[in-house]
Amino acid sequence: MLLLGLPLDMIALPIPPGDTTLAYSGYLCFRGVLRPFAVLPAGYGGAIIGVTVTYWIGRRVGAPLVDRYGKWLFIKPAHLERTRMYYKRFGNALLLFSFFVPGIRQFAGYFVGILRIPYLTFAVYAYIGAVLWVTFFFGIGFVFGKEWQIILGWVERHFAFVAAGVAALVAFMIFRWSKSAKAVKGIK
């Protein structure tokens, strides 16, 4: 379900949103219907496949398609320039946290491909973002059990605060990791 559904969500097909699907999968694991060790890898794989496919579509076909048919797709050169400006302003953090914003998640891979961001840079930030996104929304269902729908609704209503909290947690983890890496280098 997740290995096929999440790529379809990333490609922007009208299917149930990935956030809800992940939270419900977490809830099913909470109830013992599914096993987390099967669900989480499928979720990670589905999200990574989806964002990678959209990146390569954007990189290979996106720019010529937008140049030629952009007006028919309601994508103007100004939209691409604005996206380029946002990427320059926020850098790879935009790619890292785009998974948490419905509507942005579905198009981030395309636009990053169109902007020709190097694949390795894309992969590092997009794949980490995918793992964070899958883990977070799966965790809502798994940790909160029967209350998962209430918590999911609360998260969606208060997204700015939740995103700031997730960003602070990631920044703290990176800080701790870099501090411990420097300590290890000092020992050698």
Task: State pLDDT tens for residues 75-98.
Answer: 677 777 777 787 777 778 778 878
Pick 14 or 177 by higher pLDDT.
Answer: 177
Residue 15 confidence (pLDDT): 62
Residue 186 confidence (pLDDT): 60
Tell me what percent of the residues of the chain surpass a pLDDT of 90. Answer: 28
Q: In angstroms, what CA-CA distances link 116 with 10, 55, 81, 95? A: 19, 9, 13, 13
Cβ atoms of 9 and 106 within 8 Å: the answer is yes
Residue 70 confidence (pLDDT): 67
Of 66, 69, 60, the closest CA to residue 84 belongs to 66
Q: What is the mean pLDDT of residues 91-107?
A: 78
- Per-residue pLDDT for 14 more than 60? no
* pLDDT tens per residue, range 24-76: 999 999 999 999 999 999 999 999 999 999 999 988 887 777 777 666 666 67
- Phi and psi (nearest 5°) for 138? -60, -45
- How far does the chain reach from its first CA to its final CA, in angstroms? 47
Residue 41 confidence (pLDDT): 94
Q: pTM higher than 0.85, yes or no?
A: no
What span, in angstroms and rounded, lies between the C-alpha atoms of 114 and 135?
A: 28
- Per-residue pLDDT for 22 more than 60? yes
Per-residue pLDDT band for 188 (boundaries 50, 70, 90) equals low
Cβ atoms of 39 and 141 within 8 Å: the answer is no
